[in-house]
Chains A and B, each alone.
Chain A
Amino acid sequence: MRAYVSIFRMRLLNGLQYRIAALAGVATQFFWGFILIMVYEAFYLNAGKAQPISMEQLVSYIWLQQAFLVFVILWYRDGEIFSLITGGNISYELCRPCTLYGFWYAKLIAQRLSGALLRCSPILLVAFILPQSYRMSFPPGPDAFILFVITLLLGLLVLVAISMFIYISVFITMSPAGSLLIFGVFGEFFAGKVIPVPLMPSWLKRIAYLLPFRLASDLPFRVYSGNISGNEALAGIVTQVAWLVVLVILGKIALDKVLKRVVVQGG
């Protein structure tokens, strides 16, 4: 646990060092947010009947997506683990007195959390004071906010468990680019990064609901905006926990398997 805390501290300090980079990142996220809102606004002009998500909810959804971008994207710059695997330096990691899965898991969580902490507060702060049509609204009630926090944190755990598979698959493909590609394109699409999940056609939505990708971003964001109500949110939490358990167990088994292969091959 202490090792985890110190990794986290180091990451955060590291991130703070590059504050200009962080500022630039925030500015970029803002720009994206504005553009997306304007595009959807233009689309909603022609929305004859009621849409599955209201424009107001969608604005909150978009700002949350920008603020918690690191909760949406599957790969969050960690070339370190990749080069460990492809460069054959993995043996060093195996000498450490903790399980590889736990160690990497902690590291990846720290990375994402520090990334989110640096970026989310300025984005959200400004998003709350923007002019009416761009302003982010408050959650419908305190219960929705609490559910949002819970689903967001659980979602982070699920997301990291998914991203572990990217690293594991690199043991087999030996090509980070290839693995990132498959996971990146499909995962992020079904997480609602390209098109918000509620706006997908119903057949596609069904697929998205069967997959775990939307649990880290789409679910908490919609809980916040009130698009998903209390009971459905609770069901979502159950799904998150179930997926988390399945993903971690599968991940551990898979990692053990590939590591055994590495050992047999002699590193």
Chain B
Amino acid sequence: MKLYFKYLSILIKSQMQYSTSFILLSCGQFLVPFSVFAALYFLFERFGMLKEWDFYEVALCFSIMHMSFSISECCARGFDSFSSLVVRGEFDRVLVRPRSTFLQVLGSKFEFTRIGRLLQSVIVLSIAVLNLSVEWHVFKVLTIILMTVSGIFIFTGIFVLAATLCFWTIQGIEVANIFTDGGREMSQYPLNIYKKWVTRFFTFIIPFGCVNYLPLMYILDKKEGSSVLYMLSPLYGMLFIIPCIFVWRFGVKHYRSTGS
């Protein structure tokens, strides 16, 4: 853990060497989701409701998913840009060091410009929370935190899976965008607006449903039955990272036996 912060500090120092581009990119990270949010607002202005969800409910979902995404993109960027590490042959360097490959790759890159996106989502979150007419208490706040953390785990897991793919091929890597950018874009709306097969896939295989739909039901008092299950469903989402780490290990093993 200490090493991870060491990586963090050295990368902050590097980033500070390019402060103008840092500010510009952070603004961009603010503006891009902002335009998406603006579009969301215009659509609600026109249609009023999205299935049974109103604007502030969707805004809550939107902000939590974007928060998770920006944090995991900031911290797990090393996996996101892993293909270039493999292409440059830098992964050998990781293997000749006496630390876990997972930690080293995780620490190899941070994308601080995601602070822009994070800021944007925090603003949206505050707007949503202030305007929602639900009763807030500690457990609901806890659930929001849990949702965000669980989202970070899921996105990171997807980044890890995509990175593992690089051990075999770096050509089709764009397909991973379906689950990273696509997953973000899709999960910014409550999952039940989609067709059954989509909802199922993104609940049981990649557990976005446990992060956005189920706990949202609890927070917005739409649930039926036991609230604890709804509240704790994000924990199931966190488990997603475990198979991802195993797959990563398998990938490293493959790399070491083929050296591609």
- A24-B171, A177-B25 are contacts. A32–B43 as well, Cβ < 8 Å? no
A178 neighbours in B (Cβ, 8 Å) = 20-21, 24
Number of A-B contacts (CB under 8 A): 97
B27, B28, B178: the one contacting A27 at CB < 8 Å is B178
B123 neighbours in A (Cβ, 8 Å) = none
Are the CB atoms of A199 and B43 closer together than 8 Å?
yes
Cβ of A23 < 8 Å from any Cβ of B? yes
Are the CB atoms of B42 and A204 closer together than 8 Å?
yes
A199 neighbours in B (Cβ, 8 Å) = 42-43, 46
B20-61: contact bitstring with A at CB < 8 Å (1 yes, 0 no)? 110011011001100110110011011111110000000000
Q: Which residue of A lies closest to B188 (CB)?
A: A39
A125 neighbours in B (Cβ, 8 Å) = none
Which of under 10, 10 to 19, 20 to 34, or 35 or more describes the interface residues of A?
35 or more
A142 neighbours in B (Cβ, 8 Å) = none
- A35-B182, A35-B185, A201-B42 are contacts. A28–B177 as well, Cβ < 8 Å? yes
Q: Which residue of B lies closest to A192 (CB)?
A: B39
Of B94-102, B135-143, B191-199, B212-220, which stretch is located at the interface?
Answer: B191-199
Cβ of A246 < 8 Å from any Cβ of B? no
* Nearest-Cβ distance from residue B69 to partner chain A, whole angstroms: 15
Cβ of A128 < 8 Å from any Cβ of B? no
Are the CB atoms of B43 and A195 closer together than 8 Å?
yes
Are the CB atoms of A20 and B50 closer together than 8 Å?
no
Q: Which residue of A lies closest to B25 (CB)?
A: A177
Interface residues in B, total, Cβ within 8 A: 37
A161-194: contact bitstring with B at CB < 8 Å (1 yes, 0 no)? 0000000000000010110010011000100001
Are the CB atoms of A35 and B194 closer together than 8 Å?
yes
State A27–B174 Cα separation when bound (angstroms).
Answer: 9
Q: Which residue of B lies closest to A176 (CB)?
A: B21
Cβ of B175 < 8 Å from any Cβ of A? yes
B105-143: contact bitstring with A at CB < 8 Å (1 yes, 0 no)? 000000000000000000000000000000000000000
Are the CB atoms of A38 and B193 closer together than 8 Å?
yes
Give chain A's interface residues, CB within 8 Å of chain B: 18, 20-21, 23-25, 27-28, 31-32, 34-35, 38-39, 42-48, 51, 175, 177-178, 181, 184-185, 189, 194-195, 199-201, 204
**17 A–B pairs (Cβ distance < 8 Å), ordered by A:** A24-B173, A25-B174, A27-B178, A28-B174, A28-B177, A31-B182, A32-B182, A32-B185, A35-B198, A42-B51, A42-B193, A43-B46, A175-B24, A178-B20, A181-B25, A194-B36, A200-B42
